[in-house]
Structure 1
Amino acid sequence: MLGECLDCLGAQIGVRTEVLIVDNGSTDGSASIVHGRLPMARLISLDRNVGFAAAASLGLRRGIAPWRAVLNNDCFVDPGWSEAALAAAHVGDRPGMVATLQLDHRRERIDAAGIGLDRAGIAWNRLGGCAPNAMNGGPVFGPSGGAALYSAAMLADVGAFDGQFFAYYEDVDLAWRARLRGWGCGFAPEARSLHVGAATVGWNSPRQRHLIARNKVWTIFKCMAAADVPAAMTLDTALGVAFALAAPVRPASLASRLASLAGRAAAWRGVHHQLAKRRSIQGSRRADPRDWMAPFPTIGALQRRFGYLADRRSGGR
């Protein structure tokens, strides 16, 4: 996948770009692939895997451009991606983020058109599972971190991804912090890419479920308005138990369900760190992002948002 991703970066047109590759402690010869496929890239090699959040943040900090893109190695951008994303970077009030359009690997459905977020702290891939020409998906809360654009000014004000998250929900957390500081998010539907998804940890794997469950709770405690936290945490606990008990039990499935509960337990063990961050985040807030959030969800809303993922879980990507 890395080679294909690099080829796509090398084929960008219309925009002069600087490419930084963060090698996250790989042992599979990735550095040689970078030198062979994209020799003009700056390679930052880490001696261990520090997680997507910390590695991507390092790349964002080392960049020198006023707008900086994050691209995961399982995301393959079209030649005009950079140009289209930048075209949306100056639309709206105080733009600090741009969401792009990620398609599934067959280009048959949308994987994500940015992030949606509701008052319960539940994030989802906007328009996930819809046809590629579907555009009416409600407000864009922030970009999906697999293929996103961030302004240097916003990053200087808010910071980058929270490295403690390791992976998953770090893009939701960053978008929420940016919204609290009054930064807006544009949407570039012409900036298209193909996204494999969960290529590193595995789709619906125990590791993925653990990280998502833990990091969602941490994000709520860091960013959510205090009045909304009790209801959000009650719903999160109920959904976690329902996820663990509702479907037929299979060995892999059971492991993922138990991992989701374990992730929530891990979140509570580390919540004191997030409460310390919360004081700083809430103390410097300039805006109420709830105008960009969907209402508290119904069961029907949850089914519409996540029902298309059943195809992936059954192995039908």
Structure 2
Amino acid sequence: MRHPRVGVAILTMGNRPAELHALLESVAAQDTLAARIVVVGNGSPLPPLPGGVTGIELPENLGVSGGRNVAWQALRGTVDVLVDLDDDGLLIAPDVFTRIAAMHAADSRLGIVSFRIADETGFTQRRHVPRLRAGDPMRGGPVTTFLGGGHSLAMPMLEETGGWPEEFFFAHEETDLAWRALDAGWRIQYEPELVLQHPRTSPTRHAVFYRMVSRNRVWLAKRHLPAPLVPAYLGVWLLLTVVRTRSAAGLRAWFGGFAEGVRSSCGERRPMRWATVWRMTRLGRPPIV
């Protein structure tokens, strides 16, 4: 991929206009300019946008997956690499797009690059390191999943895999896409030098967090795992959830989501190849945890 054109997609619910403005300023300050920038109002009106930025207002909230698919469709045919950024994030270095373009230009099978998420002090939460051994957030390399807040996606990879799983709405949509990309032979790279500054948050701030996380994890297993691994994967995560969760209401919501995932449709089942299971295991994260 020679001189890849970089496009930017940002989802917003209209409740962070100051943060969105600051993010767009940091995008405009990149030394490699984005070929196109799309901001999607996910069920909300958009604030005034700078010139050259395409705004799309959706009449309803389609979730992270649905909103990102709208942005992807708007950018198809005009860019080679799509960069998704959280609307309350900030690019603190001016060479992010230059480095992204160089990485994708050097490797035609590089499907996804995961940024490092850090707060204003430079601290990276363990949950923002896309590997099991998360003690050192500065250790980059090939991984099996990526961070939703800041990443790049090769457009040919999106075409081959079919984009984001709209049924998921939010939670585990990155893992669903990552598993499909790995199974199709694409690489995923965690690059800690590419930083998206983002406020330190807890995922449980979302009211439906426990239900969606549980339901979508069941869907992941049903959609993508070879049959013998489905009970192993779900059993491991059931045990981990019971041990880790301190909220009785959270546990009730989690088990409700688990039941919903078991009894509801998750879309077409396409179990990954055993070669992909082995590849993920060699990368340090077998698909049972």
Asked if TM exceeds 0.5, the reply is: yes
1:26 counterpart SS class: coil
- Residue 282 of structure 1: SS of its match in structure 2? coil
Q: TM-score, normalised by structure 1?
A: 0.74
Partner of 2:259: 265
Asked if 1:232 is matched to 2:233, the reply is yes
Amino acid at match of 1:263: G
Deviations 1:35-80 (A, max 9, x none): 2xx2321001101111111001110121120111111212212222
Q: Whole-Å Cα distance in 2 between the matches of residues 59 and 211 of structure 1?
A: 23
> SS of the counterpart of 2:27?
helix
Q: CA deviation at 1:7?
A: 2.1
After superposition, give the CA deviation of every residue in 1:9-29 in whole Å (9 maximum; x if it has no partner).
2222224431000110125xx
Equivalent position SS for 1:288: helix
Matched, 1:152 2:164: no
What is aligned with 2:268?
Answer: 277
Equivalent AA in structure 2 for residue 255 of structure 1: A
Residue 220 of structure 2 corresponds to 219
Q: 1:103·1:111 contact (CA, 8 Å) conserved in 2?
A: no
Given the alignment, which residue of 58, 65, 70 partners 1:58?
A: 70
- 1:83 maps to 98
Is contact 2:41–2:57 with CA below 8 Å preserved after alignment? yes
Q: Say which SS state the counterpart of residue 88 (structure 1) adopts.
A: helix
Task: Decide whether the 8 Å contact of 2:280 with 2:287 is kept in 1.
Answer: no
CA apart distance, 1:180: 0.8
The residue that corresponds to 1:68 in the other structure is 82
Structure 1, unaligned stretches of length 5 or more?
117-123, 248-252, 303-317
Query: 1:161·1:170 contact (CA, 8 Å) conserved in 2?
Result: yes
- Which residue pairs with 1:164 in the alignment? 167
Partner of 1:290: 278
Q: How does 1:138-149 map to 2 (within 5 A)?
A: 139-149=142-152
Which residue of the partner structure matches residue 26 of structure 2?
8
Task: Verify the 8 A CA contact 1:97 1:184 in the aligned structure 2.
Answer: yes
**2-side partners of 1:182 and 1:297: how far apart?**
16
Deviation of 1:175 after TM superposition, in Å, equals 0.5
Kindly provide the amino acid, as one letter, of the partner of residue 108 in structure 1.
F
Name the structure 2 match of 1:208. 209
Q: In structure 2, how many angstroms separate the alpha carbons of the residues matched to 1:92 and 1:45?
A: 35
Q: Percent identity?
A: 24
Residue of structure 2 equivalent to 1:43: 55
SS in 2 for 1:142: coil
SS, match of residue 143 in structure 1? coil
1:196/1:216 Cα in 2 relative to 1: closer, same or farther (>3 Å)?
farther
Q: Which amino acid is the alignment partner of residue 151 of structure 2? A: A
CA separation in 1, counterparts of 2:239 and 2:126? 27
Q: Matched residue pairs, number?
A: 266
Distance 2:157 2:255 in 1: 34
Please name the residue that 1:103 is paired with.
118
Matching residue's letter, 1:74:
D
Structure 2 residues not aligned, in runs of 5+: 1-18
For the structure 1 residues 87 and 157, does the alpha-carbon distance in structure 2 shift closer, same or farther, using more than 3 Å as the test? same
Cα 1:295–1:113 change in 2 (3 A) is closer
